[in-house]
Structure 1
């Protein structure tokens, strides 16, 4: 089977495991690959891990991709339509296409652009946070950053924010033989049954965790539920509190995390908002574009379309400077 340059490069990257927290081997490999052509700079993340910034000239445009993956093994293989493997679409396909596009640009004497490779995207975004600080400390503000993620080669300009809340119900710890148990779990179940009937504009949500009780023969004194919301709605927290109050179940609520939505829509692009979260939240002047489908990401059958992988090279190249 004849493979194109980005296809072979993707297979090489897939052969290097890079679960979040263990990315240094793939960072080292990319640094070695690009070191003879680009100025390579490591941006420290912690004692053992770093991001990679590879530039020619003074970069006005960056192509950015995270190189970490979620855990799990997916057999690396190629068929007529797809390349399979953990990270094929999320996110090593984009990385391979970006590297290919950047090398083409250098061969055409283009300058003033770069590649950015990050770690930790699948966990706590510590790589992107380190880049954000590094750029601020060094007054680096690229005019455009193209972030690779599986978007089916559609430009994404906005993303929902994340709000996580914990709901607590209290009861009375007592013997389970009581006729009218004052159970925190019963209260929480009633609250959730009522609350989950609600829908909120531009919002998806789910109950991610439920905890409560100490033993099956003890009425639960405490019970908690953690809910995660993805939303573009600036009034979301007010709506959540109102809907919880309408359940008429006594409770307390604590906000665990709030990350605001992002909208980088510019006049040159139509607004396209997605429910998932990306490094666009940390990088100014950025939007998202890449091969593959988000529905294949993190799955046991993760794959990327060979057609989209090769088309991505041309799309990324179009955003890079032309020869003067």
Structure 2
């Protein structure tokens, strides 16, 4: 077993350094094609590339799904002892490598598992939406995101809302009203800062108004990023905002519903057992953000999120992951599927 571990540690190091050396921010996922062509040949797994530049290896009704895109900002890869630094090391190329190698090991042992590296997760999730509309369904999906050793069974939903309002353009020295002030007052009335998982957050992220130094603006734009749990109604949130921003135009530019799976889900139970065998005491977790798990929920009988890595490092300039974390991820993914198939 020690020989096998050393082999996997070297393999994951080689693959992860190769992958994070390839800068793939959202919209540039095609740059990863040579990597997946090499992996497909090396590991003996069939490769499919889709219209959104998502990459699929192998086939099966069990799906390991990660994402190949990263946020903007390349970080030069480096290795310190057994820790690898670089953009995407933790989000999401570290979990991706763990899933990829687990897919290979399971395939070698006769298990049919499909691996997907989806595109655009850090933007509008074009890869996940493509998969959702493909007609494919799965018995089990594990979404590979860094989860700090926990099992994520809930994500909040998201609404991205554009608002455009009209005002009265007047010379500033004799103006009778001011759209900027009005927008500020309305924003304060609906603003709900992030507080707890069970309460929605309504956060303004963009505001634009005015284009001349001495004239009050005649139009204004506000964008709200809204997050909400499964216990809150999407229409009720939007209605509350509409009632404040009267006589304005509204456009929902993105809406992803929240997702919640039950703790006694067979996939959750198998994952819990696999983690326990690795000496990890997992907790069931709820995440305030949104992931591809929200989108893929309708095409999975069972779905859950789990992956190696520290989620607090996501999107930072300190992204890193250890080879040991990835190795444990490989073992947990592999043992989970073996446990699941044994039960069935």
Does the pair score TM above 0.5?
A: yes
What residue in structure 1 maps to residue 275 of structure 2?
none
Match of residue 190 from structure 1: 185
Deviation at 1:160, TM superposition (A): 1.0
> Residue 278 in 1 paired to residue 291 in 2?
yes
Give the Cα separation in 1 of the matches to 2:112 and 2:192: 53
Match of 1:153 in 2: 149
Counterpart Cα distance in 2 of 1:308 and 1:241: 45
Partner of 2:274: none
Q: Is the 8 A contact 1:165 1:253 kept in 2?
A: no
User: 1:234 deviation in Å?
Assistant: 3.1
For 1:251 and 1:239, the matched residues in 2 are separated by 18
Task: Indicate the residue corresponding to 1:86 in structure 2.
Answer: 87
The CA distance in 1 between the partners of 2:241 and 2:117, in whole Å, is 42
* Contact 1:75–1:85 under 8 Å retained in 2: yes
Q: Normalised by the size of structure 2, how large is the TM-score?
A: 0.80
Q: Is the 8 A contact 2:61 2:138 kept in 1?
A: yes
For residue 264 of structure 2, what is the aligned residue in structure 1? 267
The structure with more helix, counted as a fraction of residues: 2
Q: Which runs of 4+ in 1 moved over 4 A?
A: 36-39, 197-201
* Partner residue, 1:128: 128
Deviations 1:19-66 (A, max 9, x none): 2222223233223312364452424225xxx3222225xx13121111
1:243 and 1:282 mapped to 2: Cα distance? 25
Give SS of 2:24's match. coil
Partner residue in 2 for 1:54: 57
Q: CA RMSD in A?
A: 2.7
Distance 1:183 1:16, change over 3 A: same
Match of 2:308 in 1: 291
CA contact (8 A) 2:18 2:35 kept: no
Q: CA offset at residue 159 of structure 1?
A: 1.1
Deviations 1:145-200 (CA, angstroms, capped at 9, x unpaired): 1111111132112211111223444331111111x531111111122233326779
CA–CA distance in structure 2, aligned partners of residues 320 and 197 of structure 1: 41
After superposition, residues 1-324 of structure 1 pair within 5 angstroms as 4-35=10-41, 37-46=43-52, 50-55=53-58, 59-80=60-81, 82-107=83-108, 109-134=109-134, 136=135, 140-178=136-174, 181-196=176-191, 201-232=198-229, 233-242=231-240, 245=243, 250-252=246-248, 254-256=250-252, 257-265=254-262, 267-268=264-265, 269=268, 272-283=285-296, 284-285=299-300, 286-321=303-338
CA distance 1:100–1:277, change in 2 (3 Å): same
Deviation at 1:264, TM superposition (A): 3.1
How far apart are the structure 2 equivalents of 1:197 and 1:95? 35
* Aligned-partner SS, 2:217: coil
For residues 157 and 192 of structure 2, what CA distance do their matches in structure 1 show?
22
> Do the aligned partners of residues 119 and 168 (structure 1) sit closer, same or farther apart at CA in structure 2, a change above 3 Å counting?
closer
CA distance change for structure 1 residues 234 and 253 in 2, over 3 Å: closer, same or farther? farther
Distance 2:58 2:263 in 1: 25
| Inter-partner Cα distance in structure 1 for 2:27 and 2:164 | 33
Post-superposition shift, 1:239?
A: 4.0
C-alpha spacing 1:37/1:304, structure 2 compared with 1 (3 Å): closer
The gaps in structure 1 that reach 5 residues or longer are none
